[in-house]
Amino acid sequence: MDAFWNLITIPMLNLLLLLYEILGHNFALSIAVFTILVRVVTLPLTLPQQRSAKAMQTLQPQIQELQKKYKNDREKLSQAQMELYKEAGVNPLGGCLPMLIQFPVWIGLYQAIIRGLGNSPMQLFQLSQSIFPALRWLSDLVPLNATFLWMDLAHPDRYYVLPILVAVSTYVQQKMMATPSNDPQTASMNQMMTLMMPLMFGYFSLQFASGLSLYWVVSSLVGIITQYFQTGWGNLLPQRSSRNAV
């Protein structure tokens, strides 16, 4: 299993080190540029996911009508919804496969940043051993300078700026992607997830290295921008999104 993850992580780690050299040994900037590059490369997987969310949002008025019509018959409601999806050419699970494919990429990116932030003798040795022979000259960069502004990127942000940004950016992205529902149970579950995920990631950021929090903030900002151009402000500002759609 380690061999599989190394196939993803080690090339990413070498790219991260190369960016670190090109960008004047600024590891924070390297993480930001690296994250943007990965998000751009995975756009062909992200865009279908966002288009699926937009299509589902467009169908919400019709779905709500069906829910009213068949509120006492779950089976007929399910059949009517599937017919509606088929007529509209929408796959309600269309966004799931691209998201699943992206998971190994996200984990590889996470592992590459973790390895780059290593500071113990063993971690530094493993980092040096992970460098490709053609880029062996990058070994001179180890250990990396993990200082940025007031932060040590290898440790949590003691002023809580990044954890707050993680929570806020996650909330905005979740809210934009949320699909309105007329079903009280579904609406309640969606609302709980929209609130819980930002709080959860914000809490994790209090424990994790600041470099990982920086990666998450940049990744969320890129996600917010691409989501905006696909669906507008979505459920974050539904009235404004409706005007833009018109």
- Per the model's pLDDT, the better-predicted residue between 132 and 121 turns out to be 132
pLDDT greater than 60 at residue 201:
yes
Average pLDDT over residues 61-72: 80
Confidence label for 18 from pLDDT (cuts 50, 70 and 90): very high
How far, CA to CA in Å, does 33 sit from each of 1, 19, 141, 178, 209?
A: 28, 8, 18, 28, 18
Q: pTM for the full model?
A: 0.77
Q: Tell me which residue of 243, 237, 244, 232 sits closest to 53, measured CA to CA.
A: 232
CB 218 within 8 Å of CB 170? no
Confidence label for 113 from pLDDT (cuts 50, 70 and 90): confident
Residues with Cβ < 8 Å from 159, sequence gap 6 or more?
Answer: 150
Backbone angles phi, psi at 148, to 5 degrees: -150, 120
Confidence label for 245 from pLDDT (cuts 50, 70 and 90): very low
Dig out the tokens for 193 from the structure.
Answer: 């997830």
Q: What digits encode the pLDDT tens for the residues 150-194?
A: 888 888 988 999 999 999 999 998 888 776 665 677 677 778 888
